[in-house]
């Protein structure tokens, strides 16, 4: 039975994605689980697996096309199925014309067939709400829709505007979100004035570059940052790591220990395990921490989940897997959302200390420097010690300085008595 393959909802709030490759030639049969299409979102490159065996009858979009989520991208058939007139089939399946972004009326059977999961992915908002949000510099992503089907309507924007006015310290900012359709198409190649002597090269933004710029720009504009600094002696930590790796299990990195130590600190200071929302501060029961991974395409921050119940070896395995897949562009979208804290470690580069920008909607980011020998004072005596400088950047909206200080003290204590990491 011929059926449509639609652009999957791979990214929360994303209205469209780019079809980056067709791994299968048209006409070739495939098995369940085979990759049918490769889709690039703002954050990841995702293979779309086949749910059942079949054959690719026709592709409906080209490589590089930006396609609305839920829109048909290919016509699939059963193996050995003969489709005399694909156009007729497409017309019957409703894919002949341009896809209707609004979709059919709620409750009509066509909705679930044509756009699985669409209502859960697309954020509906009224034209008036979009305009008001834009004028107020509010991001639709931060708003909760109270209209029919979760539509963001005027009153939602007005409430958010009032809430922000009460907050008072938020600067007036102007940006828009959820309007990716208005972003100009990315040119296919670098643009220069003069091929002979351009003097510079414009590298067009990738979607990931745009996403990084947008998210971190928003973070700086919206989240009032403050930082607390700390220095830990890490001889015990390094020794513990060496001992752990001596057992021949999964290889444990310093960063794994730091991440798990941070998770332990979160468990001790739950007021840090929060995020800021328009109408509330959300406190999490479990501890999820993201790790910053640099890739060829840019920074990604996959999330380690449920750290409060994990052993160090499980963390090591999970983080190695995430790093590996991040660098090959094979992360799933759901691995990129959540968490209240990111750990970013420039230690491998020898960086002594640095300050990082919070990855919204998280409330903090821990910047970890290199472990290095320094002159330290201990019991009034000068000696050489191995230390690590850490800087915790914190969103002041949900977290006050005393809480951050309390967290930093707990974190440093855990690092310096690292067996507690294993507890």
Partner 1 sequence: MTTHRKLVPASPWVTLTATPADWDAAPAGLLTAMLHELLLIRSFEEQVLELAAAGLVHGPAHSSIGQEGGAVGSVLALTSADSVNGSHRGHHQFLAKALSHVAPDGLDLTSDVSDAVRAVLLRTLAEVCGLDRGYSHGRGGSMHLQWTDAGAMGTNAIVGGGVPQAAGFAWAHRQAGTDAVAVTYFGDGAINIGSTLETFNLAAAWRLPVCFFVENNGYAVSTAVEEATGEARLSARGPGFGIASWKVDGMDPLAVHLAMREAVAHMRAGHGPTLIEADTYRFFHQNGPFPGSAFGYRSKEEEARWRRRDPVDQVAGHVLRRGILTQEQVDVSRARAHRLMVEATDVLIEPLPGGKPGERRIRPSEWPDPAFVDVGVRGDLSELADARVLDRDTFTGQLADQRFIDAVAAVMARRMATDPRVLVMGEDVHRLNGGTNGATRGFQAEYPDRVLGTPICENAFTGLAGGIALDGRFRPVVEFMYADFMWVAADQLFNQIGKARHMYGGAGAVPLVLRSKVATGTGYGSQHSMDPAGIFATAPGWRIVAPTTPFDYVGLMNTALRCDDPVLVLEHVELYTSTGEGPVDDLDYCLPVGRAAIRRRGSQVTVIAYLSMVRHVLDAVEQLGTVDAEVIDLRWLDRASVDWDTIGESIRTTGTVLIVEQGAIGTSYGSWLADEIQRRYFDWLDQPVQRVTGGEASPSISKVLERAAFAQTEDVVARLSEIAEA
The residues annotated as belonging to the active site are: 396
| Nearest residue (CB) to partner 1, 127 versus 246 | 127
C-alpha to C-alpha distance for 225 and 223, rounded to whole angstroms = 6
- DSSP structure string for 157-205: HHHHHHHHHHH--SPP-----S-GGGSPPPPSS-B-S-SS--SS-B-PP
Query: What's the closest the beta carbon of residue 155 comes to partner 1, in angstroms?
Result: 8
Contact, 114 vs 79, CB < 8 A? no
Listed in order, strand segments (DSSP E) in 205-340 are 225-233, 274-276, 281-283, 289-291, 293-295, 298-300, 303-304
Mark residue 233 as left, alpha or beta (left: phi above 0; alpha: psi -120 to 50; beta: remaining). beta
Judged by DSSP in three states, 15 sits in coil
With contacts defined by CB under 8 A, name the span among 112-120, 144-152, 181-189, 211-219 that binds partner 1.
144-152
Smallest distance, Å, CB 68 to partner 1? Answer: 19
Angle at 239 between CA 233 and CA 245, to 5 degrees: 140
Candidates 127, 171, 184, 350: give the one binding partner 1 (CB under 8 A).
Answer: 127
101 lies in the binding site for partner 1 (CB under 8 A): no
| Residue number, 177 or 222, with CB nearest to partner 1 | 177
Q: Which stretch binds partner 1 (CB under 8 A): 10-18, 125-133, 178-186, 244-252?
A: 125-133
Binding segment (CB under 8 A) for partner 1, from list 149-157, 258-266, 325-333, 351-359: 149-157
In the complex, what is the shortest distance from the CB of residue 144 to partner 1, in angstroms, rounded to a whole number?
16
Sheet order of strands, 54-59 included = 3-6, 72-77, 54-59, 29-30
Is residue 129 at the binding interface for partner 1, with CB under 8 A as the rule? yes
Cα–Cα distance, 351 to 362 (Å, whole number): 24
Interface with partner 1 in residues 154-183 (CB under 8 A): 154
Region from 1-9, 123-131, 293-301, 340-348 binding partner 1, contact rule CB under 8 A = 123-131
131 lines the binding site for partner 1 (CB under 8 A): yes
Q: Which of 26, 91, 128, 181 binds partner 1 (CB under 8 A)?
A: 128
Among 53, 148, 167, 204, binds partner 1 (CB under 8 A): 148
Confirm if 48 and 72 have CB atoms less than 8 A apart: no
Residue 21 burial (C-beta neighbours within 10 Å; 0-12, 13-18, 19+): middle
Nearest approach, Cβ of 118 to partner 1 (angstroms)?
18
Interaction between residue 147 and partner 1 (CB under 8 A): yes
Helix (H, G, I), strand (E, B) or coil at 226: strand
Residue 44 or 133: the one with the smaller Cβ distance to partner 1 is: 133
CA–CA dist 120, 149 (Å, integer)? 10
- Kindly tell me which of 87 and 158 has the beta carbon lying closer to partner 1: 158
Which positions touch partner 1 (CB under 8 A)? 126-131, 147-148, 151, 153-154
């Amino acid at each position: 039975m011929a059926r449509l393959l639609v652009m999957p909802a791979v990214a929360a709030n994303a209205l469209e994605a780019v079809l980056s490759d067709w791994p299968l030639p048209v006409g070739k049969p495939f098995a369940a689980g085979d990759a049918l299409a490769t889709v690039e979102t703002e954050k990841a490159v995702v293979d779309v697996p086949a749910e059942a065996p079949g054959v690719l009858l026709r592709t409906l979009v080209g490589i590089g096309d930006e396609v609305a989520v839920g829109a048909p991208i290919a016509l699939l058939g059963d193996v050995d199925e003969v489709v005399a007139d694909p156009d007729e089939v497409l017309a019957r399946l409703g894919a002949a014309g341009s896809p209707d972004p609004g979709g059919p009326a709620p409750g009509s059977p066509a909705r679930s067939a044509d756009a699985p999961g669409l209502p859960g992915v697309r954020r509906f908002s009224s034209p008036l709400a979009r305009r008001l949000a834009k004028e107020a510099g509010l991001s639709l992503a931060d708003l909760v829709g109270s209209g029919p089907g979760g539509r963001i309507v005027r009153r939602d924007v007005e409430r958010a505007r009032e809430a922000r006015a009460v907050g008072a310290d938020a600067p007036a900012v102007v940006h828009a979100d959820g309007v990716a359709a208005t972003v100009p198409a990315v040119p296919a190649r670098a643009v220069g004035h003069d091929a002979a002597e351009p003097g510079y090269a414009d590298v067009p933004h990738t979607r990931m570059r745009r996403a990084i710029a947008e998210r971190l720009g928003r973070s700086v504009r919206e989240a009032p940052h403050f930082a607390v600094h700390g220095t830990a002696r890490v001889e015990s930590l390094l020794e513990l790591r060496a001992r752990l790796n001596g057992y021949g299990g999964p290889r444990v990195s310093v960063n794994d220990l730091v991440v798990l130590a941070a998770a332990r600190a979160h468990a001790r200071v739950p007021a840090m395990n929060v995020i800021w929302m328009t109408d509330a501060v959300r406190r999490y029961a479990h501890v999820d921490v993201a790790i910053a991974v640099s890739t060829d395409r840019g920074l990604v921050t996959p999330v380690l989940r449920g750290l409060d119940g994990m052993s160090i070896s499980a963390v090591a395995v999970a983080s190695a897997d995430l790093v590996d897949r991040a660098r090959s562009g094979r992360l799933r979208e759901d691995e990129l959302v959540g968490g209240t804290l990111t750990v970013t470690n420039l230690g491998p580069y020898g960086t002594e200390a640095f300050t990082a920008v919070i990855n919204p909607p998280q409330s903090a980011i821990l910047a970890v420097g290199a472990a290095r020998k320094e002159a330290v004072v201990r019991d009034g005596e000068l000696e050489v010690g191995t230390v690590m400088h850490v800087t915790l950047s914190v969103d002041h909206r949900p977290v006050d300085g005393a809480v951050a200080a309390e967290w930093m003290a707990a974190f440093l204590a855990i690092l310096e008595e690292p067996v507690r990491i294993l507890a």
